[in-house]
């Protein structure tokens, strides 16, 4: 069945009555009219792989050493969601779920590299058809370009994008632009806000950063920002993966699987030449000046490590620090950019009538279990930041505990824009939750399904259920392994209790809940383990 388009409702008096809230003296929108569309503007800012541990509004010890004061402004001005999760912790599937409000098995996008069906209903297209001006700048990563969504303006990174001198794709083709990706994306967003749009229409701008995605290359101004900071090492850094068959088989270990040159920026002794760097493109595209500044910033620290003759364990700990220093330095540029956008909205008078959302396509491991990357249903990667401000509608400092998921973004934004939410959307609007009027019946559990195996980092396919205390998951493919966690007793998910008699009844209830969710969300994708494979 071809999915039907989102339909627009209430396009008349409710939204056009009265003087526009953003028609202040300094507003670029002020001159043309006094009576016009009052639907809220939307600025949707999404980063790639930004863990809540690295966003200081969430208060994690790591983030206290590398704060994000500008992103935190959104939480102060509005709401922080404390239990915000994704349906599948991977870039493309998360983006597709956000755009459609549907799980990957319904919207057709379950793994990176698949092609998103651009003709299906999405909330940006629905807003455009409802009269919004729409724009997208930055990472798209769902196929080449966001053509079917009919953005008034778009300028996207090519696939994953690069940090230095990235290629951007527009309707006119591909161009390499000198500069730093995060700063360029912020700039394109601001340019469009200032001069690119029709000021008499409500607008929706998506700012999609590459940062802090691998290979974590900071901007020149932040190269040494955290070089001397020692970040707290997670207790589970040297995890033995006991009782967790899939965790034991992954390939996303900081001390074993990171590339010393490409990822950790280690150089050969006495030289600026990188150690193992299988993808030369990231550094190869720097200008000689950029490269010279980079080399100068890393030389002393790299000389020290080359001279140190560390034990394997100390080298593993050093790699953690180097990883964190860089990851967090790429976040610093995002924070700068968010500050510029918020400043502009405030100074132009647009802020009062603009919803600002900050999120990421998923969480990330910052050394927990010894890992980088994501994919697993475990909390660090299933969780994703979600902050929302909307002055006058969301009280400053609001905290939302309810279980929410990235399929909820589409219905929320459709509702705020006054566009009817189609029946077949699988998420639920967060509007009343975030405005302090929790609905009588909210979901009690979340469904998750990760598919990409075999694939990068060797994380086995799995599906599971998480409620506010327990998590049940089944890994399948070349293994068949169930896991069960009591998140209250074991928040780090180190002790698989699947065979613990004390939890037998609870595991039974969770298995029923998992099947109920599979039916509710209509997930009948195959989940097979060949009979010949080990049943861990």
**CA atoms of 114 and 461, how far apart (whole Å):** 16
Q: How far is the CB of 374 from ligand SGN (least distance, A)?
A: 7
Angle in degrees, CA 459, 89, 455, rounded to 5: 30
Q: How far is the CB of 70 from Ca ion (least distance, A)?
A: 21
Q: Single out the segment in contact with Ca ion by CB under 5 A; choices: 119-127, 336-344, 357-365, 418-426.
A: 357-365
Q: How far is the CB of 362 from Ca ion (least distance, A)?
A: 5
Q: Which is nearer to ligand SGN, 215 or 333 (CB)?
A: 215
SS3 for 265? coil
Question: Within the chain, what is the greatest distance between any pair of CA atoms?
Answer: 73
Q: Which is nearer to ligand SGN, 100 or 353 (CB)?
A: 100
Q: Which is nearer to ligand SGN, 94 or 389 (CB)?
A: 94
Q: Which does 222 bind (CB under 5 to 8 A by kind): ligand SGN, Ca ion, none?
A: none
Q: Which is nearer to Ca ion, 317 or 386 (CB)?
A: 386
Q: Single out the segment in contact with ligand SGN by CB under 6 A; choices: 98-106, 128-136, 213-221, 300-308.
A: 213-221
359 counts as binding ligand SGN under rule CB under 6 A: no
Q: Are 514 and 472 in contact (CB under 8 A)?
A: yes
430 counts as binding Ca ion under rule CB under 5 A: no
Strands 386-389 vs 354-360: parallel, antiparallel or unpaired: antiparallel
Nearest-10 Cα torsion for 217, 222, 227, 233: -70
Site for ligand SGN in 460-499 (CB under 6 A): none
- Cα–chain center distance at 8: 28
Nearest-10 Cα torsion for 261, 264, 265, 268: -60
Q: Which is nearer to ligand SGN, 68 or 94 (CB)?
A: 94
Contact residue for ligand SGN among 29, 54, 90, 407 (CB under 6 A): 90
Site string for ligand SGN, 361-380 (x = CB under 6 A): ------------x-------
335 counts as binding ligand SGN under rule CB under 6 A: no
Q: Which is nearer to Ca ion, 91 or 334 (CB)?
A: 91
Q: Which does 456 bind (CB under 5 to 8 A by kind): ligand SGN, Ca ion, none?
A: ligand SGN
Residue 532 makes CB contacts below 8 A (sequence gap 6+) with: none
Point out the residue whose Cβ comes nearest to Ca ion: 91
Q: Which is nearer to ligand SGN, 90 or 472 (CB)?
A: 90
Site string for ligand SGN, 159-198 (x = CB under 6 A): -x--------------------------------------
Contact residue for ligand SGN among 393, 456, 486, 492 (CB under 6 A): 456
Q: How far is the CB of 120 from ligand SGN (least distance, A)?
A: 21
Residue 222 makes CB contacts below 8 A (sequence gap 6+) with: 329, 330, 332, 333
Q: By rule CB under 6 A, what count of residues binds ligand SGN?
A: 13
Site for Ca ion in 88-117 (CB under 5 A): 91
Nearest-10 Cα torsion for 454, 315, 331, 52: 70
Q: Single out the segment in contact with Ca ion by CB under 5 A; choices: 3-11, 25-33, 83-91, 122-130.
A: 83-91
Point out the residue whose Cβ comes nearest to ligand SGN: 91
Angle in degrees, CA 507, 509, 513, rounded to 5: 110
Q: How far is the CB of 158 from ligand SGN (least distance, A)?
A: 13
Site for Ca ion in 328-347 (CB under 5 A): none
Distances in whole angstroms, Cα of residue 22 to Cα of each of 197, 353, 530: 14, 6, 60
Q: How far is the CB of 212 from ligand SGN (least distance, A)?
A: 10
Q: Which is nearer to ligand SGN, 168 or 482 (CB)?
A: 168
Q: Are 85 and 382 in contact (CB under 8 A)?
A: yes
Token pair, residue 272, equals 């600026």
Q: Which is nearer to Ca ion, 111 or 415 (CB)?
A: 111
112 counts as binding ligand SGN under rule CB under 6 A: yes
Q: What is 31-99 written as a DSSP string?
A: TT-SB---PPEEEEEEESS--GGG-GGG--HHHHHS--HHHHHHHHHSEEESSEE-SSSSHHHHHHHHH
**CA atoms of 280 and 291, how far apart (whole Å):** 13
Strands 404-405 vs 84-85: parallel, antiparallel or unpaired: parallel
**CA atoms of 376 and 381, how far apart (whole Å):** 6
Contact residue for Ca ion among 37, 48, 408, 480 (CB under 5 A): 48
Residue whose entry in the numeric block shows the structure tokens 């909820």: 408
Contact residue for ligand SGN among 73, 102, 213, 383 (CB under 6 A): 213
Token pair, residue 515, equals 């099947």
Distances in whole angstroms, Cα of residue 306 to Cα of each of 264, 267, 268, 459, 507: 13, 8, 8, 32, 50
Which parts of this chain interact with Ca ion (CB under 5 A)? 48-49, 91, 361
Which parts of this chain interact with ligand SGN (CB under 6 A)? 48-49, 90-91, 112, 160, 213-215, 279, 373, 456-457
């Amino acid at each position: 069945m071809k999915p039907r388009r989102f339909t627009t409702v209430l396009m008349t008096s409710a939204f056009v009555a009265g003087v526009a809230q953003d028609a202040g003296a300094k507003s670029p929108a002020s001159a043309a009219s006094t009576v016009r569309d009052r639907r809220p503007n939307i600025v949707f800012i999404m980063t790639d792989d930004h863990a809540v541990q690295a966003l200081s509004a969430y208060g994690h010890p790591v983030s206290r050493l590398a704060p994000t004061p500008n992103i935190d402004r959104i939480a102060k001005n509005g709401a922080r969601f404390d239990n915000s999760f994704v349906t599948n912790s991977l870039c493309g599937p998360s983006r597709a779920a956000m755009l459609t409000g549907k799980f990957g098995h319904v919207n057709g996008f379950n793994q990176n590299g698949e092609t998103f069906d651009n003709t299906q209903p999405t909330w940006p297209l629905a807003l455009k058809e409802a009269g919004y001006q729409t724009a997208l700048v930055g990472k798209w990563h769902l196929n080449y370009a966001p053509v079917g969504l009919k953005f008034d303006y778009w300028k996207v990174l090519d696939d994953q994008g690069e940090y230095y001198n990235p290629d951007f794709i527009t309707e006119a083709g591909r161009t390499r632009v000198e500069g730093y990706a995060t700063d360029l994306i912020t700039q394109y967003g601001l340019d469009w806000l200032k001069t690119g749009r029709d000021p008499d229409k409500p607008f929706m701008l998506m700012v999609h950063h590459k940062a802090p995605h691998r290979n974590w290359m900071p901007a020149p101004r932040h190269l040494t920002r955290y070089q001397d900071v020692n970040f707290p090492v997670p207790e589970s850094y040297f995890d033995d993966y006991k009782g967790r068959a899939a965790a034991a088989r992954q390939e996303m270990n900081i001390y074993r699987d990171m590339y010393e040159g490409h990822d950790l920026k280690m150089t050969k002794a006495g030289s600026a030449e990188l150690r193992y760097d299988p993808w030369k493109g990231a550094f190869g595209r720097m200008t000689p000046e950029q490269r010279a500044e980079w080399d100068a910033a890393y030389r002393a620290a790299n000389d020290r490590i080359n001279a140190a003759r560390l034990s394997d364990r100390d080298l593993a700990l050093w790699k953690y620090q180097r990883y964190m220093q860089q990851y967090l330095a790429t976040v610093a540029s995002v924070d700068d950019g968010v500050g510029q956008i918020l400043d502009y909205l405030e100074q132009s008078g647009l802020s009062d009538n603009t919803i600002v959302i900050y999120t990421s396509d998923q969480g990330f491991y910052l050394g927990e279990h010894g890992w980088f990357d994501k994919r697993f249903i475990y909390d660090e990667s299933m969780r994703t930041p979600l902050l929302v401000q909307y002055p006058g509608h969301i009280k400053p400092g609001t905290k939302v505990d309810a279980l929410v998921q990235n399929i909820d973004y589409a219905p929320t934004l459709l509702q705020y824009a006054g566009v009817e939410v189609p029946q077949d959307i699988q998420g639920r609007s967060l509007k009343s939750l975030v405005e302090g009027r929790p609905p009588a019946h909210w979901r009690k559990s979340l469904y998750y399904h990760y598919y990409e195996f075999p694939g990068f980092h060797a994380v086995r396919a799995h599906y599971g259920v998480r409620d506010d205390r327990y998590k049940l998951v089944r890994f399948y493919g070349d293994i068949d392994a169930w896991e069960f966690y009591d998140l209250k007793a074991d928040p780090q998910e180190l002790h698989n209790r699947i065979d613990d008699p004390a939890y037998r009844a609870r595991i039974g209830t969770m298995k029923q809940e998992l099947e109920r969710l599979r039916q509710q969300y209509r997930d009948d994708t195959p989940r097979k383990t060949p009979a010949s494979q080990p049943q861990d």
